[in-house]
Amino acid sequence: MVTLRRNGLLSSCEPCRKSKLRCDHRYPICTRCIRTHKQDRCVYRPSPMSGPPRQTNPEQSQSGSEETHIPSTTSNTREIITNAGPSRLMTPSPSGVSVGPLDRTHADWTNPKRRRLSQPGFLGLTSYDAALKDSRDYLGMSTLGSIEKDRGASLSEGSNAMPVESDQIHQGARLLSLLRDFPLYIRITEAYYRAIHGCDPLGRPIMDLVFQSVEDNLVSRMLESNLSEARTLSSEIFQMFNNPITVHPSMTLPEYMTSMSYRWEIIGLAFSFISISTVMASDWDGMFQIEGRPVIAQKELALMTLSAAETCIKFCEEAGVVNDPVSWLILQHTHLTTLIHGDGDHRSWRALGDLSTIIFTLGLNQPDSDSDAPFWLSEMRKRLMGGSISCDKQLATFLGRPPRISSRFCNTTLPLDLSFEEMVAEPSIRDKAIGKLDANGWNTEKSITKAVWSRIPLLMGHVREDILELSLNNQIEDLPRKVDDILQHSHQVWASIPSFLHWKVDMEVHQNLIADESSLLYLHLDYIYNDFLLYRILSKRMNTWCEELVQVSHEILGGILLLIESKLRTGKTSYFGLPVAGVLAIELVRRCSPISADSASLTFTTPFPRSRVIQNLSIFASYIQTVIRPHEGNYGICQKARETIRRVLDVVLSAENTQPVFPVPNTSAGLEFSNDPAMSEV
C-alpha cells in the first residue's frame, strides 16, 4: 500500500521518485509506470533513503496486508497485472541480501528442487518410445493399457509437487481481485453471445458453465476488497492446480467443470470470454454505463482481461499443465489476440504457434483412443480441432504463410452435427438425437447452429492448404492445370455439403439479412474466396488478365456490403474485403489507362459493371472508416486501404482519368498498387 512520508504527503513509486517526476500514487501500479511499461518496477517503499529495498515477499507483509484494499476494476482499470513474462521483481535471499534477476535465474536452474521438467505429451509411431512401448506390451509390463492413458499420465507427472513462488501467489491475488466486478462482465458477455448465433466452437453453454463455476467458488470470496483474502485464495488455487484431472466414461460436463473450479485455466477461460465480448461489443457507452461511476474505456478493459488470460496461460506453462481446458483457453486466446492486436501482428502468429503446439502435444490430430473419455469430451476435442484448423487457415491466408496445422498430418474424424445440449445430454436423449442424423453425420433439421462451424473447416481445410502451397511454390509446372484441379476439387467438396447450407439468393436484390442468412452468406463467401485466390495466383504467375477474378471479386464485395448493411458484424471485413477491393480498384485503374496493344486484343465475355463497382468501392471505403473501430486490431491497415481506395476513385472520377496515378502494366497481371504501401499489405 502507499504510505505517508514525514511531511504527510503520499510516497512516490521508485521509478517516479528516481526520475523526479510527479506520481499519481495509484496502487498497486501508478499511471505513469503503466504508460512507460515499468509495471514490474512500480513499488512503493516507506523509507527509500534509509536501509535496503523493501522486500516483496507477500508473506513478510501479512500484517500490513490486512489493511490493504484492492481498487475496483471500474474505478481504475489500469491497476492490473504486470506483463505475462517472468517476474523481474527483486526477491530476498536467505541471507537477507537482495538478489537480482540474473542471480535468481541461476539459482532456479541449479537447484534440483526448482527444475520444471517438461513432459513430451503424445508420441507417434516414429517416436523414441514407440518400439520400447511395444516391448513393454509384449512382456506385459504396461499396466495402463492405452496410449491415451500413458499420455495423460505423462502430462500430469511434470506438475506435481512443484513449489509455488511468493511472487506468483501475489500476482495471482492481483488477478483474482478483478473478479469483484463480475456482474459487469456477465452483462458484457451476455450481450455478445446473443449476437453470434452459435458460431463459437466452444459455445455459449461452455461459457455459462465456466462463469457459474467461477461465480460460485471464487467471486463470493472476493466480495471484500482485502488483499490478504485474495492471497489466501491464490495460494489455494496453486495447491489444487497440481492435482491431475481424472475422467471416466459416465462423467457429465457439470461434474467435470466442478472438478475444474479451482484452476487457473478455467479462470483464464472466463477472462478470455470477457475480453472477446468487450472487443466485439457495439453500443459500449449505452450498455455498460454504471450508475454513479464513469464509463469504462472499452480498449482498456479488453487489454486488461487479455493480460489476465495471458497470466493464467503463463501459470499453466510454468507448472507444465497440459489438458483439454488449456487447449480451449489457447484457442480463445489466439482468436482474442487477432481481434485486439490485429491479424498482421507478430503476436497473433506466435499465438497460432502455441495453438498448434498444444494440438499436437495432446494428440488431437489423431483419432481419439481414450476409452475413459466421456462422449461429450471426445466430441469437444473434434470441435476444437475444427475451430483450430479454421483459425489456422484464415491467418495463414491473410499473411500469405504456410499453415501451422497441416491436414496431411491430421486424421481427425468429423464431429457429429449435434447441438451442444444434445451432445452433453444423458445417453438415451443423445442416442435419439444421433439416430436423426443422416448417413454422413449431418443434422436433418436444417440447423446451422450445431457443429457446422467445426465440420466445414475440417472438410475444406485440404483445399485451402493446396491453394497456399500453390501460392508459395514458384516452381509449379503446368500451373493452369493445377489451378483447375484445385478448383474442381473445391467445388466437389462444397457440393457434398447439404444443400441447406448453400447460399441460393441473389445478393443484388436481397436486403435485410436475418441471422441464419448471414451465417449462410459468410459460408458462401469463404467458399468462393477459394476461387478468388486461385484466379489471383493464375493472373500473377502467368502475367495475364483473368476475367473470372474480377467477377468473383465483385461478388465477394457485394456480399460483404450486404452483411454490413444488415448490421451483422462478422469480424472478417478485412479478411475478405481488402484483397477483393484491391483487385477491383486496380481493374478500374487499368481500364482508365491508355489502351495498349495487348489490352486492346482482349475480349470480354461479361460486361464490366463499372458504375456498380465504383459505387460499391465508395460504400466499402465509407464503411471501413466507421465500422472498423479504433480499438480493433486491424483498424490501422483498414484505414491505409481506405485512403488508397479513395485515391483510386479520385483518379477514376476525375477529368484527367486517362493519366493514372499508379503505373499499370500493359496486361493486368499486376493486380496490386506497385508503389502504394497501403495496398501492398493487402
| 201-210, 253-262, 566-575, range with the lowest pLDDT | 566-575
pLDDT at residue 510 tops 70: no
Confidence of residue 600 (pLDDT cuts 50, 70, 90): very low
Is 414 inside a domain boundary?
yes
Q: What is the DSSP string of 49-113?
A: TSSSPPP--GGGGHHHHTT-BPPPTTT-TTS----SS-----EE-TTS-EE-HHHHHHHHHH-GG
What is the pLDDT, as a whole number, of residue 531? 96
11: which DSSP letter? P
What is the pLDDT, as a whole number, of residue 652? 82
Confidence of residue 268 (pLDDT cuts 50, 70, 90): very high
Last residue of a domain, one of 436, 465, 496: 496
What share of the chain in percent tops pLDDT 70?
Answer: 69
Is 284 inside a domain boundary?
yes
Provide the grid cell at 665. Answer: 502494366
Same domain, 171 and 248: yes
Residue-wise pLDDT tens digits, 336-381: 999 999 998 999 999 999 999 999 999 898 876 667 899 999 999 9
Cell numbers 494440438 correspond to what residue? 359
Same domain, 660 and 530: yes
Same domain, 489 and 565: no
Is 331 inside a domain boundary?
no
The number of helix segments (H) and strand segments (E) in the chain equals 28, 2
Cβ contacts of residue 51 below 8 Å, gap of 6+? Answer: none
Residues 129-166 as b or e (16 or more Cβ within 10 Å = b):
eeeeeeeeeeeeeeeeeebbbbbbebbbebbeebebbb
Cβ contacts of residue 153 below 8 Å, gap of 6+? Answer: 144
Rounded to whole angstroms, how far apart are CA atoms 12 and 441?
A: 64
Confidence of residue 74 (pLDDT cuts 50, 70, 90): very low
Does residue 248 or residue 512 have the better pLDDT?
A: 248
Is 564 inside a domain boundary?
yes
Residue-wise pLDDT tens digits, 406-453: 988 888 889 999 999 999 999 999 999 999 999 999 999 988 888 898
Residue-wise pLDDT tens digits, 36-64: 878 778 888 766 665 544 444 444 444 44
**Domain that includes residue 270, residue range:** 163-321
Rounded to whole angstroms, how far apart are CA atoms 635 and 622?
A: 13
Confidence of residue 286 (pLDDT cuts 50, 70, 90): low
Residue-wise pLDDT tens digits, 131-168: 666 666 655 655 444 444 444 444 544 444 456 778 88
Q: What is the DSSP string of 590-645?
A: HHHSPPPHHHHT---SS---HHHHHHHHHHHHHHHHHTS-TTSTTHHHHHHHHHHH
- Look at residues 229, 242, 92 and name the one whose alpha carbon lies nearest to residue 173: 229
Same domain, 351 and 304: no
Confidence of residue 271 (pLDDT cuts 50, 70, 90): very high
Rounded to whole angstroms, how far apart are CA atoms 76 and 71?
A: 7
3-state secondary structure of 4: strand
Last residue of a domain, one of 266, 291, 321: 321
Confidence of residue 223 (pLDDT cuts 50, 70, 90): low
Q: What angle do CA 60, 61, 67 make, to 5 degrees?
A: 160
For residue 412, count other CB atoms closer than 10 A to its CB.
20
162: which DSSP letter? P
Helix 573-592 to helix 635-653 angle (10° resolution) is 20
Is 156 inside a domain boundary?
no
Is 30 inside a domain boundary?
no
Element (H, E) at 217: helix 204-217
Same domain, 575 and 673: yes
Same domain, 177 and 316: yes
> What is the number of domains present in the chain?
3
pLDDT at residue 114 tops 80: no
Rounded to whole angstroms, how far apart are CA atoms 614 and 626?
A: 19
Last residue of a domain, one of 254, 286, 321: 321
- Predicted TM-score (pTM) of the model is 0.78
